[in-house]
């Protein structure tokens, strides 16, 4: 287990994004699964989830020494639970307190830790790799940039986004909450303006076309140094 003295510090201040995400779960805005907390089809549809787990498991196991991974925006942990075994330490973070408490009770592994943090505001734990799966697409450009600024200590950053199929205008701004840029025929591209995310290398790991609703879900590995 990690040294609690080195645990990330949380800023004690209410933020609208926290309230918006709490409402998402309270009102089942991403659908109602079998659990009190349900992160939507993107976290439960096998055609989306299974290829993602496979490609990340392959990446994690390619290292001689297991990585410390920070799952930023872990949601109901239906995906993360299958990745913990491939890591040295798996640190799962979300902004909704009730969700984190639920996850702590439901998922217990020796190398797994949960923290309730606002990624745009609070200090993040250190690690080798940060993964943000279908998270940034729900946030305003201002919050996205704040989070990107905090990722410079990770050597690897893996970002998954639901984007329009074909060409589109990237990074149309939105208000943080349930929705995404898809309704504006836009999607997130962290290497395009207005963001200032500097990387050494970019490598698309996965692209899943969606048959039942518009768009493509892409997973991209960024090597920062």
Return the structure tokens found at 5: 């003295």
Residue 11 has pLDDT above 80, yes or no: no
Q: Could you tell me where the DSSP H helices lie in 162-215?
A: none
Residue 35, pLDDT score: 64
What pLDDT, in 10s, does the model give residues 135-194?
999 999 999 999 999 999 999 999 999 999 999 999 999 999 888 999 999 999 999 999
Q: Token pair 């799962």 is at which residue?
A: 92
Average pLDDT over residues 28-50: 80
pTM of the model: 0.89
Q: Binning pLDDT at 50, 70 and 90, where does residue 37 land?
A: confident
Helices H, strands E: what count in the chain?
A: 4, 9
Q: What is the maximum span of the chain, computed from C-alpha positions, in angstroms?
A: 47
Residue 132 has pLDDT above 70, yes or no: yes
What's the angle, vertex CA 117, arms to CA 114 and CA 123, rounded to 5?
110
Residue 1, pLDDT score: 47
Partner residues linked to 114 by β-bridges: 92
The domains of the chain, with CATH numbers, are 29-223 (3.40.50.150)
Mean pLDDT computed over every residue of the chain: 90
What pLDDT, in 10s, does the model give residues 71-127?
999 999 999 999 999 999 999 999 899 999 999 999 999 999 999 999 999 999 999
The whole-angstrom separation of Cα 154 and Cα 76 is 24
- Specify the long-range contacts of residues 43-52, CB closer than 8 Å, at least 24 apart: 43/75, 43/76, 43/78, 43/79, 43/134, 44/78, 47/208, 48/208, 48/210, 48/217, 49/78, 49/79, 51/206, 51/208, 52/79, 52/133, 52/160, 52/206, 52/208, 52/219
The whole-angstrom separation of Cα 169 and Cα 8 is 36
């Amino acid at each position: 287990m990690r040294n609690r003295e080195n645990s990330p510090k949380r800023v004690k201040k209410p933020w609208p994004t926290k309230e918006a995400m709490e409402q998402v779960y309270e009102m089942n805005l991403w659908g109602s699964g079998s659990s009190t907390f349900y992160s939507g089809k993107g976290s439960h549809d096998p055609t989306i989830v299974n290829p993602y787990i496979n490609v990340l498991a392959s990446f994690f196991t390619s290292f001689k020494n297991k990585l410390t991974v920070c799952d930023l925006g872990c949601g109901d942990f239906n995906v993360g639970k299958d990745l913990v075994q491939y890591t040295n330490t798996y640190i799962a973070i979300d902004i909704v307190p009730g969700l984190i408490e639920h996850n702590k009770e439901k998922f217990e592994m020796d190398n797994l830790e949960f923290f309730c943090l606002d990624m745009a505001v609070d200090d993040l734990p250190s690690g080798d790799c940060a993964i943000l799966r279908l998270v940034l697409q729900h946030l305003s450009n201002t919050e996205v940039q704040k989070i990107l600024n905090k990722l410079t200590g990770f050597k690897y950053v893996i970002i998954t986004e639901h984007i329009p199929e074909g060409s589109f205008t990237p990074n149309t701004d939105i208000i943080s909450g349930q929705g995404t840029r898809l309704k504006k025929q836009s999607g997130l591209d962290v290497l395009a303006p207005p963001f200032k995310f500097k990387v050494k290398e970019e490598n698309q790991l996965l692209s899943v076309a969606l048959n039942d609703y518009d768009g493509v879900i892409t997973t991209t590995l960024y090597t920062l140094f």
